[in-house]
Amino acid sequence: MEQSGRNACFNSIKASDTRILKSINLVAVLTALREIGPASRADISRITKLTPATVSNIISLLISQGIAEEVGYGESSGGRPPVMIEFNPKAFYLAGVDLGATKIIAVVTDLEGNIITRTRMELNVNEGRESVMSNLFHVTETTLEQAVDTRSKIVGLGLSVPGLIDAELGISVFAPNIPGWRNIPLVKVFQDEFHIPCKVENDARAMAIGEAMFGAGRGYANILCVNVGRGIGAGIIINGEIYRGKQGGAGELGHITIDPNGPVCPCGNHGCLEVMAAGPAIARSAVEAVKTGKSTLIHDLVGGNTEDITAEVVSLAAKKGDVVAESLIREAGRRLGIGIANAVNMLSPEIVIIGGGVSRAGDVFFEEIRDTVKKRAFTAMVNLPPIVASTQGEEASSVGAAALVLEEMLAVGNISHLMPFHLNYPFSAPASKPRTK
Ligand SMILES: [Zn+2]
């Protein structure tokens, strides 16, 4: 475990900082328990390369906090059968809220990302910023109320928001699809309202963190997670850490150029991936096809009203075997494949995970993406990463938002402070603040 991506970064830490060393050991034991449990103390000692005494101390601490449990005896290898230890995902709970362009989804999950309660609300972002904020509060409050049995054990709330985020300051800087949405101090307003620690992250990055912790990315240290809905964004995990880039600007896969002579993107450039392969692009191509009189089921599904054509309608028609719809989905898949091939050339991820509304367009969409990446990614000859759908479906970003809380809990430096496990641990505590052991 010490060599895993997350911990490898800390090899250079001075041994004098015992608090951080204890955190590293604690994270290693917790990670091992989560990944392989139930396990004996000896198993964990072998996997983490920590001494049996250290493992024993940490396990005692975890058991006293309810995070680990003894669950009977394992196979004897000659002597006394070992006591088996298991991670307890119900020790604490996480809340996550996803603000999308057309909906808000809020969840409460356990420490394995299993959804305990969920609320979904349709949203009209054109009603403006005040309305969006009050809807966000309403959905969050409803979800926390539904989780009444677990509310006292909810250790934090994560927010997933489109656009540019300053994760450190907890500010939603700019969301292109929400009119008037600029510099909203989301973490502060949510903490003031709900009195629990909050985190905010860009939706694609929240999705990536959720997939890494609970979903298709589990066990991988290098992940490219692509969110394809009304827009296209990517969450990048490198050596077990989310990569944000300067001022959180990394992962704007939707604005790489696919065709320099292509249509104008809202960002001002021509032929961005987003304006050629996201949901609105698929809908726009379908409207053209219907208007030019092509015989297609899309026409019938919307009763001839072209303004009702969405990417969902197109994928429904494609799944019913409509040839025109299928070719539109394939075209979007091919274009997305070009974008992903470019990203694969740059990052060489171990796995590519695709989520968001358009990712549910069906097998032909994924076939086309995989074919295109295989043809165009340089490293595909030796190492073609698997390209898979998000396992979390529509909840990928809300569960990812909840995962932000767990990620912060498990961050080295936080966890030893957290260990008395009072529920008031600070997120990203200022350096000047004295920490108690
Ligand atoms: Zn653009």
For residue 231, report the distance from its CA to the centre of ligand 1, in Å.
Answer: 10
Give me the sign of the Cα torsion angle 148, 149, 152, 154: negative
The Å distance, Cα 204 to ligand 1 centre, comes to 16
Cβ atoms of 314 and 329 closer than 8 Å:
yes
User: Is it the case that residue 251 has pLDDT exceeding 90?
Assistant: yes
Interval between CA 420 and ligand 1 midpoint (Å): 47
Contacts of 209 (CB under 8 A, 6+ apart): 201, 235, 237, 242, 400, 403, 404, 407
Domains 5-87 and 93-211+395-418 share a fold: no
For residue 418, what pLDDT band results from cuts at 50, 70 and 90? very low
Burial label, 72 (beta-carbon count in 10 A; 0-12, 13-18, 19+): exposed
**Ligand 1 centroid to 332 CA: how many Å?**
16
Query: pTM for the complete prediction?
Result: 0.86
Contact yes or no for 366/389 (Cβ under 8 A)? yes
Does the 93-211+395-418 domain belong in CATH 3.30.70.141? no
Lowest mean pLDDT among 254-268, 311-325, 353-367, 416-430: 416-430
256 CA → ligand 1 middle, Å: 7
Pairing label, strands 198-202, 154-161: parallel
Topology of 5-87 in CATH? Arc Repressor Mutant, subunit A (1.10.10)
CA–centroid distance, 230 to ligand 1, in Å, is 13
- 121-177 pLDDT tens trace: 999 999 989 999 999 999 999 999 999 888 888 989 999 999 899 999 999 998 888
Q: What is the pLDDT of residue 19?
A: 66
Strand partners, 198: 157
Task: Find out whether 271 and 238 touch, Cβ atoms under 8 Å.
Answer: no
> Strand pairing partners for 33?
none
Give distance in angstroms: CA of 269 to centre of ligand 1: 5
In angstroms, what is the span from residue 393 Cα to ligand 1's centroid?
26
Q: Are 188 and 417 in contact (CB under 8 A)?
A: no
Task: Locate 71 and state its tokens.
Answer: 């669950």
What letter represents residue 164's amino acid?
A: L
- 114: CA distance to ligand 1 center in Å? 35
Q: Give domain limits for the chain.
A: 5-87, 93-211+395-418, 216-390
C-alpha closest to that of 118 among 359, 410, 392, 409: 392
**Integer Cα distance of 22 and 24 in angstroms:** 5
| Structure token pair of residue 325 | 């719809």
Given a cut of 80, is residue 271 above it in pLDDT?
Answer: yes
Please tell me the distance from the alpha carbon of residue 286 to that of residue 278, in angstroms, as a whole number.
13
CATH number of 216-390: 3.30.420.40
Separation of CA 271 and ligand 1 centre (Å): 7
The two three-digit tokens of residue 413, written as one number? 């430096």
List the structure tokens of 141.
């409050």
Ligand 1 centroid from CA 380, angstroms? 27
Tens digits of residue pLDDT in 320-335: 999 999 999 999 999 9
